[in-house]
Structure 1
């Protein structure tokens, strides 16, 4: 005998829509924001922040904020992070309003200069104080830019890690090897394109329905594992090749063995079977810590027919304790020293 329930009205609850903000700080960050807007991102709001008025005007972004006009006259910081920091601190009341009600903030910056290095930790700290989860994506200088700029970047990276829930670090030297034979403008555009596709990929994972969904709570669980984070990206028709390409060519040259958390998303066509998805996820998890927290999602798209794409964020790696920033020579391997910046 069936049961009928009558007169039971569901309570009206206003569901919260995920609010995502992507902020570019300084010249490098604004370049990535510019590329991201050209690529198109509908599920997040973008903001470009700079002290250089000319550079800011050239940035394709609906929301632009010029910092420190009273100090810099719109001409930049001259490579001084202390000025970039002061400009951001003076704009704290305005920045606090921007982050009200924001659930997830991506902060993109290039380290080693003045505005990005100085302002990004301040912006990250304000966002967290307003209740937002903060994922910062930072690029480090090319080796040919010299030891001084590299040391400035390392000090800025330490502060950015202290202000963010998690920091993903991309080594420009490593990216350079991927595009070394391209013209300069195309090579730099590809670097920005990689960052933009990463952010767009994560936003799409959280906002677009999948067969196996990953939600904001999953991302928060993984990112709060702590430690250094890195990104794995692979695209191939063969499941083993996807993982092999991703592990052998991470954007940051660190060892993911022993990682304490991972969020893995797989996209493929109608030929993406459960067996193939399992092989991909298992290949990643087998090198992580036995008690690692792993979340994964799967999506099928027509345009991915015959191909498989994997995006993975691995956290809790390279846990080498060290309270002070070491001197960094121009040729040093960033991947080997980055672990010393764990809080």
Structure 2
């Protein structure tokens, strides 16, 4: 006996408290004519499949290419130096020995440069580790982690005279305070407050220079060079202020982190908030187009300084508010009272 094919049911609406609505648990038979059944979804029905793991083949081949090119370049340079030294000895002995001395001097300088770059990278990694440790101690209110991180912070600034008073105060607080978050807050206030004030002055001065030069510069190329030089200078100065002192490789790593921080926190563009701040102070009616462009460039430089402060500072902003672009707007647009008095009609 063959079963007759079931006719599809028409769509219908049911209430959940209706007697004809039943949950399907696997023990019910065929549904009745006026019966509706709710079939629960599987536990993993809404879970998406994991994304495929990225292949590392391209990165591996790229590393092989760079290693091969670096090796060939080193061999070519070595053979060229060897040929030069042989030619010098062929001419006269003292000239060959003088060439060997120059090679030894260059090798010594190269070794010192490598050591300096590695030391700069190690300092940057230490600051990153300190920032993560202090953030974790403040979030977990862990006194043990906070004391260990603050002890390393005291070692970092042991030779900085502007932190002498703060270091003495923190050593007393370590024996008295038992809350991890309070210790981090005190470290911000006692140790980092003078450095934060100096960082604010650095950012303000750079923003003022960019604003002034780009306002009076007749060439866009000169504006670009000034902004680039000030951005490089501000990152280096802030890193040295907070104990980083990066070399060339360390600076490139730091610049990449600053760019990533900018992308994460809103980018460099003067968006609606920046324009609204600029217009909200009534400056559009008072400033010329060129001067307004200089102020905008100064604010963008201040944005770089704010991001660099967050990246270079060895502790997160927990109890204090970090610098914002609006903090520098008044400095960029503040007029000199003596200039105003001199320009006023008598």
TM-score (norm 2): 0.23
Higher helix share: 2
- Pick 1 or 2: higher relative contact order, CA cutoff 8 A, min separation 6: 2
Larger radius of gyration: 2
TM-score (norm 1): 0.24
